[in-house]
Structure 1
Amino acid sequence: MTDPQAQVRIPATYMRGGTSKGVFFRLDDLPERCRVPGEARDRLFQRVIGSPDPYAAHIDGMGGATSSTSKCVILSKSCRPEHDVDYLYGQVSIDQPFVDWSGNCGNLTTAVGAFAIHAGLIDAERVPDSGVCAVRIWQANIGKTIVAHVPVTNGQVQETGNFELDGVTFPAAEIMLEFLDPSDDGEAGSALFPTGNLVDDLAVPEGVVKGGVLKATMISAGIPTVFVNAADIGYTGTELREHINGDPQALARFEQIRVAAALRMGLIAKPEDAATRQHTPKIAFVAPPREYTTSSGRAVAAGDVDLLVRALSMGRLHHAMMGTAAVAIATAAAIPGTLVNLAAGGGERKAVRFGHPSGTLRVGAEARRVDGQWTITKAIMSRSARILMEGWVRVPGDAF
């Protein structure tokens, strides 16, 4: 029996992936009772991050008290043919006692490829001495394949470089991600558009919008996401975090939209279920290009972008853009008639550059119609990753 007075040491690696950070574990390094889904694993990850924290500070844990920094990842060698690793992602709630396993983190997917090589989970013959290693990832949360193209120098992951990613302070080496067949064909019983429509009239409370009806594109690609027009809810698409996150009434309205969309998309059975499914769906608002100033004070001209997008994660406006939401943006932009596509000017598009609070990001997707239905073969974007610390994370023995 574990001594409740003693701290348990667990091998772990703290990594940045894209504009997120998380604690990475090899499955075999976890305490035995945490190697399977359940309460023990959830309690362990909550304690590692420092949740639930009524102070919303994560002083007593590895989390950073934001949706971008309250994450844990488990990796193991894959038994699936043509895959190298299985990747499981847990979004740890900051102030509530639960871990949301309902979706993926696209930003941390970048770090998955790098960590898999660092941790020896990739067969040695597949890692070049110098070049690019294609790490074939099975994303276990959503049952999808992602390929991370990781640069390698002298047999080791190359982490430094000149690739700049808005929302990340320092440059690093570029890692290109391919999200194969990113549309959701899982729990909602649908493919790309859960409702069957490119644009829906979404019923919302009168307090959200006059008349109680809001135009929305609800899509399941990368992660289930609901897009609405910024102008329809009183915004311009140029807002920064402080404009939204400092307004409790605005956050409450966004949550009402998210809950309405979750019900319409078949992700929850009743409104109360949304409280323990904060990670999905995402809620985002879009607008045509216009000049704005980023959170770092840099000016973005209207001509620099195809459209503007702001997205919320775990109830707060994201400081940049979630990687999975970027896949949803790329996918929706590629399909004529969605709100995202229309905000970008309409027509057929294979790629867009969108403006977010920290700057801009270019994403692409390959869309085609099959038997009258839209399908996406893959979505592509570039990110970077870096190990910040490696060793052991410690938690009290009675924490899990």
Structure 2
Amino acid sequence: MSQVPQIRIPATYMRGGTSKGVFFRLQDLPEAAQAMGPARDALLMRVIGSPDPYQKQVDGMGGATSSTSKTVIVSRSDSTEHDVDYLFGQVSIDKPFVDWSGNCGNLSAAVGPFAIASGLIDAGRIPDNGVATVRIWQANIGKTIVSRVPITDGKVQETGDFELDGVTFPAAEVPVEFTDPADGEGAMFPTGNVVDELEVPEEVVEGGVLKATLINAGIPTIFINAADIGYTGTELQEAINSDTRALARFEAIRACGAVRMGLIEHVDEAANRQHTPKVAFVAPPSDYLSSSGKQVSAGDIDLLVRALSMGKLHHAMMGTAAVAIGVAAAVPGTLVNLAAGGGERTSVCFGHPSGTLQVGAETRQADGQWAATKAIMSRSARVLMEGWVRVPGDAF
């Protein structure tokens, strides 16, 4: 029986925000995988354990959820305006592809700490104690992220008392600023409207039309009203993820929204673009019990938001979707803004399945077009394991 030895590749397993993934320095990848293409995709899928028809990723580093089927590649930047380039790959769990169409806002918080610990930042930029500012080029969407990493005794500080709903233990706070967060090169509102009448199949909603805010900020996102699809906005994962009909409805909405946003030409193409756009539903504030058993009071939040990622309701909130929420809330008249009570605002605190999250955003309007100048939120990050990841030598 023939056999191929495994190879080992330097890697770090990290949590960033409410996600975790396998981090690589570009220079450490096998030569064939140092450039975009089939070899890189095959390698990353094998590392994560995909495609897995059992949807468990037992034979890889993935955790069988959209939050844990992630990879990151970081390298020194050639740009004088950035320290590192950051590329994010969302690995499909049960299908053979890696989606490179968007960023991961949660793992963005881990890029700065990883870059410092991996020697990708000049030592002169790192204080003995204080904060190191890491300027990151997000290569998937061509945007700048500024991460402010706490430093103690010349090393990244990972422990602390900052608590983030959706993460069990406290850690050090890492503020992350997304500069000009409109995704891609197109308009922030690709249709030119802050609210659209989105045509969907009749089986999705009676009448075949849903009000929707379609926005490119942080990540392309489709916002709809919870009440319009029969929900309250207080739902937890089991209420959605155990309902195959509900998941099919959300996927149909996502596909129709992707076409309307110009991301794909036909709804059938959505199956091969799972990472973007996201679909989320919003509602005015209401009391609810979070997934951890924590009581969330309507008086402590501005609105409720539930978002789906890779076909399932997210256990907390994707970082990039949080940026989209913050930006949309700052634009009067969007469904997000209206759910939060309307008016002008520069920050919003929203309730998600695991608790609450606050995100700030600044927007401006010029010549009838809205644009976002920045969005800011705090996350945390921590190294879970470091060393080498192993894959069969013929895996890519």
TM-superposed deviation, 1:4: 5.5
| Preserved contact between residue 240 and residue 295 of structure 1 (Cα < 8 Å) | yes
1:4 touches 1:397 (CA, 8 Å); kept in 2?
Answer: no
Report the equivalent of 1:347: 343
**Distance (Å, rounded) in 1 between the aligned partners of 2:309 and 2:29:** 28
Cα displacement (A) at 1:310: 0.1
Q: Aligned pair 1:237/2:236, yes or no?
A: no
Shift of residue 368, structure 1, vs aligned partner: 1.3
Deviations, residues 34-91 of structure 1 (Å, cap 9, x unaligned): 0000000000000000000111111100000000000000000000121000000000
Aligned with residue 287 of structure 2, among 274, 287, 291: 291
Gaps of 5+ in 1: none
* 1:109-128 Cα shifts (integer Å, max 9, x gaps): 00001100000100111111
* Distance of 1:320 and 1:165 partners within structure 2: 10
Maintained 8 Å contact 1:306/1:352: yes
Question: What is the one-letter code of the residue matched to 1:114?
Answer: P
Identity of aligned residues (%): 75
**Equivalent residue in structure 1 for 2:369, among 369, 373, 398:** 373
* Deviation digits for residues 242-275 of structure 1 (CA, Å, limit 9, x no counterpart): 0000000000000000000000000001112111
Deviations 1:156-196 (A, max 9, x none): 0000000000000000000000000001342xxx2210100
> Are the aligned partners of 1:26 and 1:76 in contact in 2 as well (CA < 8 Å)?
yes
- Residue 336 of structure 2 corresponds to residue 337 of structure 1: no
Mapped partners of 2:262, 2:370: distance in 1: 19
For the residues of structure 2 that align with 1:5 and 1:337, how far apart are their CA atoms? 59
TM-aligned CA deviation for residue 283 of structure 1:
0.2
Residue aligning to 1:53: 52
Per-residue CA deviations over 1:279-303 (Å, capped at 9, x if unaligned) read: 0000000000000000011110110
Give the superposition deviation at 1:369: 1.3
Report the AA paired with residue 305 of structure 1.
I
The answer for the alignment partner of 1:167 in structure 2 is 166
Say if 2:224 and 2:281, in contact at 8 Å, map to a contact too: yes
Alignment map for 1:173-212 (pairs within 5 Å): 173-186=172-185, 190-212=186-208
User: In 2, are the aligned partners of 1:4 and 1:398 still within 8 Å (CA)?
Assistant: no
Partner of 2:90: 91
Q: Aligned partner of 1:373: which letter? A: Q
Counterparts of 1:4-43 in structure 2, within 5 Å, are 5-43=4-42
Work out whether residues 116 and 122 of structure 1, in 8 Å CA contact, stay in contact via their aligned partners in 2. Answer: yes
Q: Structure 1, residues 200-243: CA drift from partner, whole Å, max 9, x if none? A: 00000001111000000000000000000000000000000000
Q: Which secondary structure state, in structure 1, belongs to the residue aligned with residue 343 of structure 2?
A: coil
Q: In the aligned structure 1, how far is the partner of 2:331 from the partner of 2:177? A: 18
**What letter is aligned with 1:160?**
T
Q: Deviations over 1:331-366 (max 9, x none)?
A: 000000000000000000000100000000000101
Q: Partner residue of 2:142? A: 143
2:219 matches 1:223: yes
Distance 1:67 1:185, change over 3 A: closer
TM-score, normalization: structure 1? Answer: 0.98
Supply the AA of the counterpart residue of 2:369. Answer: Q
Partner of 1:128: 127
Contact 2:211 2:224 in 1 (8 A): yes
Give the letter for the 2:7 counterpart: V
Residue aligned with 1:179, SS:
strand
| 1:181 and 1:376 in contact (8 A); partners too | yes
Q: CA 1:263/1:389 → structure 2, altered by over 3 Å: closer, same or farther?
A: same
- Deviation string for 1:98-147 (max 9, x for gaps)? 00000000000000011000001001111111101110000000000000
Q: Distance in 2 between matches of 1:299 and 1:74?
A: 38
State yes or no: 1:392 paired with 2:388. Answer: yes
Mapped partners of 2:28, 2:242: distance in 1: 40
The secondary structure found in structure 1 opposite 2:234 is coil
Match of 2:307 in 1: 311
- 8 Å CA contact 2:287, 2:297 repeated in 1: yes
Tell whether the 8 Å contact from 2:141 to 2:184 is kept in structure 1 after alignment. Answer: no
2:323 to 324, 327, 330: 327
The AA in structure 2 aligned to 1:258 is: R
Ranges in structure 2 where 5+ consecutive residues have no aligned partner: none
SS at match of 2:127: coil
Matched, 1:71 2:70: yes
Distance 1:371 1:54 in 2: 50
SS in 1 for 2:53: coil
In 1, Cα distance between equivalents of 2:141 and 2:382: 24
Contact residue 174 and residue 378 of structure 2 kept, 8 A = yes
- The answer to whether 1:359 aligns with 2:358 is no
Q: Secondary structure at the match of 2:204?
A: coil
Matches within 5 A, 1:261-276: 261-276=257-272
Query: Do the aligned residues in 1 keep the contact of 2:192 with 2:369 (CA within 8 Å)?
Result: no
Any idea what SS the aligned residue of 1:83 has? coil
Is contact 1:4–1:396 with CA below 8 Å preserved after alignment?
no
Q: Given residue 38 of structure 1, which amino acid in structure 2 is its aligned partner?
A: G
Contact 1:307 1:353 in 2 (8 A): yes
- Alpha-carbon RMSD: 0.8
The size of the alignment, in residue pairs, is: 395
